[in-house]
Amino acid sequence: MTAEPLERAQTLHTRPRAAASFPDPRPLELRPVRESDLPELRRLDQEVFQQVAYPPFLLRQLYDLYAEHFLVLDDGAGRLRGYVLAATTAYSRAGWILGLCVTEERRRRGLGTELMLAALDRLHGCGTEQVRLTVEPGNHAAILLYRSLGFVPEQPHGGLRPDYFGPGEDRQVMRLDLRR
Ligand SMILES: CC(C)(COP(=O)(O)OP(=O)(O)OC[C@H]1O[C@@H](n2cnc3c(N)ncnc32)[C@H](O)[C@@H]1OP(=O)(O)O)[C@@H](O)C(=O)NCCC(=O)NCCS
């Protein structure tokens, strides 16, 4: 594959948003996470993911490992409104998107797409050639977003991996090729 998916995604990024008919409550800054964000990041992760939120110790360690691929949406008033977390490996040119979220009141404004594009840009910039992610098979919002960026199910079985995260925790694995 070529870089077409990322190029297509970048084109999408510039299109006008349908939900822009009323102003956003507060402009958000997309920036790398800082150590001082960790308490607010835990709160945000808990708010969005609830029982499947990262345990605090793991969030801390993910920050230690992947801070350069950990981006947040900062409302400038002490609240984070979204994040994306990507990971790279030392031994291959493969990367993973480990987490993505936008708080409920800020959704459908293109922010999830912006977070993903920023993460993909960074992954591409450090030589990553393939990016994978997992998504709940019923999470149509996220699947549509990922497909719009060029992600496709990783075969076989349409990317479906039964019990991927343990009994009953099926996931779809999706993949994007960033090679030029
Ligand atoms: C998935 C999530 C990050 C999307 O964030 P977002 O800022 O609303 O996404 P965008 O506005 O960039 O949406 C991009 C496209 O994705 C699709 N999409 C997003 N939310 C959707 C929804 N609720 N229903 C249908 N399509 C949706 C649409 O195609 C949308 O484009 P459009 O608005 O032009 O139609 C957000 O819904 C979220 O945080 N969900 C809870 C956490 C989660 O599921 N994370 C993903 C784990 S794998």
13 lines ligand 1 (CB under 6 A): no
- 49 alpha carbon to ligand 1 midpoint, in Å? 14
CA distances from 115 to 10, 108, 119, 155 (A): 12, 13, 6, 26
> Which regions in the chain score pLDDT beneath 70?
1-24, 180
110 lines ligand 1 (CB under 6 A): yes
Can you give the pLDDT at residue 9?
Answer: 40
Residues 6+ apart with CB under 8 A from 66: 85, 86, 87, 88, 98
Can you give the pLDDT at residue 24?
Answer: 62
Q: How far apart are CA 149 and CA 143, in angstroms?
A: 10
Can you give the pLDDT at residue 22?
Answer: 59
Ranges of H-type helices in 126-176: 140-148
Q: How far apart are CA 83 and CA 44, in angstroms?
A: 9
149 lines ligand 1 (CB under 6 A): no
